[in-house]
Amino acid sequence: MQTLIWKNLNQAERQTALTRPAQTLGDEITAIVADIKNQVVNQGDTALFALAEKFDKVKLDSLKIAPSELDNAQNALSDDLKSAIDTAYANIHKFHTAQIPTPIDTQTMVGVRCSVATRPIEKVGLYIPAGSAPLFSTVLMLAIPAKIAGCKKIVLCSPAPICDEILYTAKRCGVDEIFSVGGAGAICAMAYGTDSIPKVDKIFGPGNAFVTEAKRQVLMTGTAIDMPAGPSEVLVIADNFANPSFVASDLLSQAEHGADSQVILLTDSHVLADKVLGEIESQLQTLPRADTARLALAKSRIIIADNLTECVAISNTYAPEHLIINTDNPRQYLDDIAHAGSVFLGAYTPESMGDYASGTNHTLPTYGYARTQSSLGLADFYKRMTVQELSVDGFKNLANTVIQMASAEQLDAHKLAVTVRLDELQGK
């Protein structure tokens, strides 16, 4: 990791220091995904079988997972792992249940009643990546709020062969249908529907560059998505009270995600920075994914600021996906955090806790989108309708206001919709 002294950098150098690795969603990926989309739209299941054989090296007899496969998965897992999943389930369910919206029903003026009606998105699609790290924890993060919200159809796709952990967790969460379909093909299948896979209204879940591009393309044709997704990232603010071993492990926990991940340490302590570098090198020796982590670390930074207030300001400029504040009194800085996907306070709140089991959602805005987007929550599985109802007196009280405004905008039919009612009332 490169170590930088913030006060010694000019404006251009500061901007470079907080630049993320370039995302490689080039023309080639766009063209490949567009071709996959056309195959799925025109050939349906036939295309999905072919794509599984081509990309996942699996020849499938059926796309849909049978109930017997779910039973086998349940029997294959250890009791310890099932207990861990149950604990995570309970915490995530409790936190998301607390997000059930409070009814809004108010009188804006006498006789004018306005309210908000909340409805679940009817059909949702969940994409769960596999590859070198099958993310069964993501099933919990997506399926639990979908069930709490009351979505009528929950479909899950994951590359073949789907691991027992994903199958067990999907059953535990009450997913309706599970399909062995991966990559861009899965996104397109859920967006447009095939003979086997139902068309959904909104797609959730992370993935590689092809999945990300597929989500972008289906968004352009009317299927909603959860959020733009980029490489994973963490920013740690730490002072000289922090344990260097803890800080190093937090940085490595994100660096191991992928070569395009980025980790940043902000500190006011030269001593801590040096100790963390030593700990990183030591801990790397024990990690199976050390080569991947080293590639991410090569694009990462340690930035030494004058004080923790400056560290917070730098963090707000970066707008990290994960923000860990490992200082003597971390909560004192929370009110000053303007942009972050999820915040972890204190020495004993590693990012891993939120990734798996604290209760918060690990589906978060990356690549600086935390400036405008929120972590995934129950609200993402709902849509809202505003409702208004006017009594006769309310209509009379508001009529002249609307007449004046419609006249000024030269929208005479809007004005007429009011005046015809006034005329009818005056004729009674």
Query: CB–CB of 52/135 below 8 Å?
Result: no
| Cβ-proximal residues to 209 (8 Å cutoff; 6+ apart), any chain | 23, 24, 25, 29
Residue 9 backbone phi and psi in degrees, to 5: -95, 140
Report pLDDT for 78: 97
**269-325 tens-digit pLDDT:** 999 999 999 999 999 999 999 999 999 999 999 999 999 999 999 999 999 999 999
CATH topology of 27-225 equal to that of 391-426? Answer: no
How many Cα neighbours within 13 Å face the side chain of 285? 4
**197-208 tens-digit pLDDT:** 999 999 999 988
Amino acid at 298: A
Q: Where does the pLDDT of residue 25 fall: very low under 50, low under 70, confident under 90, or very high at 90 and above?
A: low
- Is residue 24's pLDDT more than 60? no
Is 321 an annotated catalytic residue? yes
CATH superfamily label, 2-21+230-359: Nitrogenase molybdenum iron protein domain (3.40.50.1980)
Report pLDDT for 186: 98
Average pLDDT over residues 209-231: 92
Report pLDDT for 23: 64
Confirm or deny that 15 is annotated as ligand binding: no
Query: CB–CB of 262/231 below 8 Å?
Result: yes
Residue in 96, 165, 213, 322 annotated catalytic: 322
213, two tokens: 């591009």
Q: Which residue has the tokens 């009450």?
A: 174
Is 322 an annotated catalytic residue? yes
| Cβ-proximal residues to 273 (8 Å cutoff; 6+ apart), any chain | 3, 265, 267, 302, 304
The answer, yes or no, to whether the previous bond of 161 is cis (omega within 30 of 0) is yes
Report pLDDT for 104: 97
- Is residue 132's pLDDT more than 70? no
Report pLDDT for 190: 98
Residue 26 burial class via C-beta count within 10 angstroms: exposed 0-12, middle 13-18, buried 19 and up = exposed
Q: Is the four-CA dihedral 69, 74, 77, 83 of positive or negative sign? A: positive
Candidates 281, 282, 228, 284; CA nearest to 256 is 284
CB contact burial 157-180 (16+ within 10 A = b; e otherwise) = bbbbebbbbbbbbbbbbebbbbbb
- Is residue 130's pLDDT more than 90? no
Give me the residues paired with residue 236 across strands. 265, 324
Q: Is the four-CA dihedral 39, 32, 292, 17 of positive or negative sign? A: negative
Candidates 73, 78, 40, 3; CA nearest to 270 is 3
Average pLDDT over residues 48-70: 95
Q: Where are the domains of the chain?
A: 2-21+230-359, 27-225, 391-426
- Which H or E element spans position 107? strand 104-109
Q: Which CATH number fits domain 391-426: 1.20.5.1300, 1.10.1740.10, 3.40.640.10, 1.10.3720.10?
A: 1.20.5.1300
The Cα 126–Cα 49 span in angstroms is 19
**138-157 tens-digit pLDDT:** 999 999 999 999 999 999 99
Query: CB–CB of 292/258 below 8 Å?
Result: yes
Q: Where does the pLDDT of residue 251 fall: very low under 50, low under 70, confident under 90, or very high at 90 and above?
A: very high
Query: CB–CB of 167/196 below 8 Å?
Result: no
Average pLDDT over residues 407-417: 98
Q: What percent of the chain has pLDDT over 70?
A: 99
232, two tokens: 């994973």
| Cβ-proximal residues to 48 (8 Å cutoff; 6+ apart), any chain | 40, 63, 181, 185, 189, 194, 196, 197
- Is residue 233's pLDDT more than 70? yes
- 66 conformational bin, left if phi > 0, alpha if psi -120 to 50, beta if neither: beta
Report pLDDT for 228: 79
Residue 58 burial class via C-beta count within 10 angstroms: exposed 0-12, middle 13-18, buried 19 and up = middle
Query: CB–CB of 234/251 below 8 Å?
Result: yes
pTM, to two decimals: 0.94
**81-108 tens-digit pLDDT:** 999 999 999 999 999 999 999 999 999 9
- Which H or E element spans position 357? none
The Cα 326–Cα 71 span in angstroms is 43
310: number of Cβ within 10 Å:
16
Confirm or deny that 260 is annotated as ligand binding: no
User: How is domain 27-225 classified at the CATH fold level?
Assistant: Rossmann fold (3.40.50)
Residue in 165, 233, 321, 351 annotated catalytic: 321
How many Cα neighbours within 13 Å face the side chain of 90? 5
- Is residue 6's pLDDT more than 70? yes
Q: Where does the pLDDT of residue 237 fall: very low under 50, low under 70, confident under 90, or very high at 90 and above?
A: very high
Q: Is the four-CA dihedral 78, 80, 85, 89 of positive or negative sign? A: positive
Confirm or deny that 232 is annotated as ligand binding: yes
Report pLDDT for 134: 79
